[in-house]
Amino acid sequence: MQTEKRYTFTVDDNIRFLRELAGQPSMALFDHPYMAMWLRLHRQFGVRVQLNLFFSDGGAFDLCGVPDRLAVDFRAASGWLRLSFHAKQEFPAHPYREAPARVLLADCQAVHREILRFAGKPSLAATTTLHYCTCTAAGLAALRQAGVRGLLGLFGTPDAPRLSYQLTEAECAGLRRGIPLRKDGMLYANIPLILNRVTLPEVSPRTETLTSLPSVSLMIHEQYFYPDYRAYQPDFEEKVSLALNILTRSGYHPTFFESWV
């Protein structure tokens, strides 16, 4: 029975840092400012970070262009840094809500194949957060076929409930209380706080409200890190650092979600 307080930290919509690394042949993984930030936060808090990847940036770049030279850095960091499938690309919204299972399977396998190539097997996570957290029942089976064993998702709040991954309201209600759910070979857990959706002054009170839960999952999106992004958040790192500090002081230990499976 799980008694240790634990947390996971994941990042959705990742693709840009890989495109920029591919365009700089002499740049090592942690020379990139985005990845240098995650390394700083790992060294400070011990955080384990999972980056959920798009296959394509929606333009000319996709994961096939990521150079193999990064494998050495990824393998060396695989104890605290993992990669996983998120979606083929950012748009359209809800890409798998009604998509045939074969489409989801092909997209997931394409991302997994490239992660294995440019980062190595130790870097491939067995869990993910599907883009928009929606798919068909057959799509869930396709994810299991691809090797996915756990799904983090968005299930709303008691006042504003949200259903994800074909789960019932009763099942989602338990997830909102921080209790993981195992169903049909998949483990599910709630993400109660997305840091790019709150202001810096809101981070402390919002994180503090989670410290009564046995398990906590936090998340942020990659694009808000970059100064040229239309919704750039210059306090990106400060938000993450503040939330991690609160969880650490509250006795939570960093984990990968796959360790819960």
Strand 186-190 versus strand 193-194 pairing type: unpaired
List of residues 6+ apart from 165 with CB closer than 8 A: 130, 133, 134, 135, 140, 151, 153, 186, 188
CA distance 205 to 225: 22
In a domain, 12, yes or no: yes
In a domain, 199, yes or no: yes
Burial of 102 (0-12, 13-18, 19+ CB in 10 A): exposed
Q: State the DSSP H helix or E strand holding residue 187, giving kind and residue range, or none if neither.
A: strand 186-190
pLDDT confidence of residue 161: 84
In a domain, 22, yes or no: yes
Instruction: Supply the pTM of this predicted model.
Output: 0.97
Question: How many CA atoms lie within 13 Å of 81's alpha carbon, on the beta-carbon side?
Answer: 22
**Domain around 133:** 6-260
Predicted confidence band of residue 2 (pLDDT cuts 50, 70, 90): low
In a domain, 106, yes or no: yes
Structural Rg of the chain based on CA atoms: 17
In a domain, 36, yes or no: yes
In 3D space, the residue among 140, 103, 143 whose CA is nearest the CA of residue 126 turns out to be 143
pLDDT confidence of residue 167: 96
User: Which residue type, as a one-letter code, is found at position 106?
Assistant: A
pLDDT tens, 122-131?
999 999 999 9
pLDDT confidence of residue 159: 84
Mean pLDDT of 51-68: 97
Tokens matching residue 93: 């919204």
pLDDT confidence of residue 160: 87
Helix (H, G, I), strand (E, B), or coil: what is residue 178? coil
In a domain, 1, yes or no: no
List of residues 6+ apart from 41 with CB closer than 8 A: 47, 49, 237, 240, 241, 244
End-to-end CA distance of the chain: 13
> Domains in the chain: how many in total?
1
pLDDT confidence of residue 3: 66
Is the model's pLDDT at 1 over the cut of 70?
A: no
pLDDT confidence of residue 158: 82
Percent of the chain residues past pLDDT 70, beyond the cut: 98
CATH for 76: 3.20.20.370
Predicted confidence band of residue 11 (pLDDT cuts 50, 70, 90): very high
In 3D space, the residue among 13, 116, 111 whose CA is nearest the CA of residue 62 turns out to be 111
Average pLDDT value for the chain: 96
Lowest mean pLDDT among 112-126, 137-151, 171-185, 189-203: 171-185
CA distance 152 to 10: 9
In 3D space, the residue among 20, 49, 47, 45 whose CA is nearest the CA of residue 32 turns out to be 20
